[in-house]
Amino acid sequence: MKYEIKENGIKITGKEDFNPEHILECGQIFSYIKEDGVYTVFSADKKAKILETETGFLIETESPSYFVNFFDLKTDYSEVKKRLNKFSIMERPVKFGYGIRILKQDLFETLISFIVSANNNIKRIQMILNRIRAKYGVKMGDFYAFPTRNQLLKATEQDFAELGAGYRAKYLFNVLRQVNEDDLTSWQVLETAELRNKLISLCGVGPKVADCVLLFGFGRGDVFPVDTWIHQMYNKYYSNLENREKIRQNLVSEFGLYSGFAQQYLFFFMRAGEI
């Protein structure tokens, strides 16, 4: 796959390592829409529309350099897939989710989004996050930016509850008073284990949410978020184990630096009912 910065966005050549549906519908991001088969993705205060062309895709955006990083275009996913295919369990999931890429998302938005995601379903997560955008974010023409921490500080616990956050309203209210965007950015230099502990110390952030923020925000490959789907997968393909911490440890020791990638293909595969 090749990419090229154009006046109106980014031109992608090749379809094997970039598939909008697989990238966006694999549960790593909640802020996107599909209209007439065309995906538009929202991140922080930016958006990009992904148009299919004969030879690849055009990522139409005013912020091309942001989305080069966002879509992780500098990473060679054919190499990632080659590595993963050395694990026999990965062959079918990698083939099925061929165009997946792990997004490098805005840290603050990722943190808030995955706190909302806990014990929740994707449709409702999207609804709640949309309401948060619309109520507290700045209007950017035809969409709302994800609000900043300062903007969200105006919200009370009751406000979040009214947006549908349920019992997570308290987590949101509290976490906003524990960290700001600069804290998160400054943690980028920490090693994964220490960074993980920092995240887990935050309200509403346990092992699973921390691993999602590490993978989808901080771009750490050496984490393996274990949710109900991965739990099911493990019981089917490995062994019956109830302890999610042990499952996580086993999977991280198996996949090492490629844990995050493996996890995402497996999650997409499981959720699609391919099992």
- Shortest Å, Cβ 199 to DNA: 9
**Separation CA 205–CA 123 (nearest Å):** 21
Candidates 17, 109, 222, 227; binder of DNA (CB under 7 A) is 227
Which of these segments, 1-9, 139-147, 162-170, 248-256, binds DNA (CB under 7 A)?
Answer: 162-170
Question: Residue 55: which of 123, 121, 4, 21 has the closest Cα?
Answer: 4
157 three-class SS = helix
Torsion of CA 170, 248, 257, 220, to 10 degrees: 0
Closer CB to DNA, residue 27 or residue 99? 27
Asked if 46 and 38 touch (Cβ cutoff 8 Å), the reply is no
**Residues 11-70 interacting with DNA (rule: CB under 7 A):** 26-28
Start-to-end CA span in the chain (Å): 28
Q: Where are the beta strands (DSSP E) in the chain?
A: 2-6, 9-13, 32-35, 38-43, 46-52, 56-60
Query: Which listed residue (16, 91, 138, 167) binds DNA by CB under 7 A?
Result: 167
Among 6-14, 36-44, 247-255, 264-272, which window interacts with DNA (CB under 7 A)?
264-272
The correct pick among 135, 166, 181, 187 for binding DNA (CB under 7 A) is 166
Binding residues for DNA restricted to 108-137, rule: CB under 7 A: 117-125
Q: Rule CB under 7 A: which residues touch DNA?
A: 26-28, 117-125, 161, 164, 166-167, 170-171, 200, 202-210, 212, 225-230, 243, 263-264, 267, 271
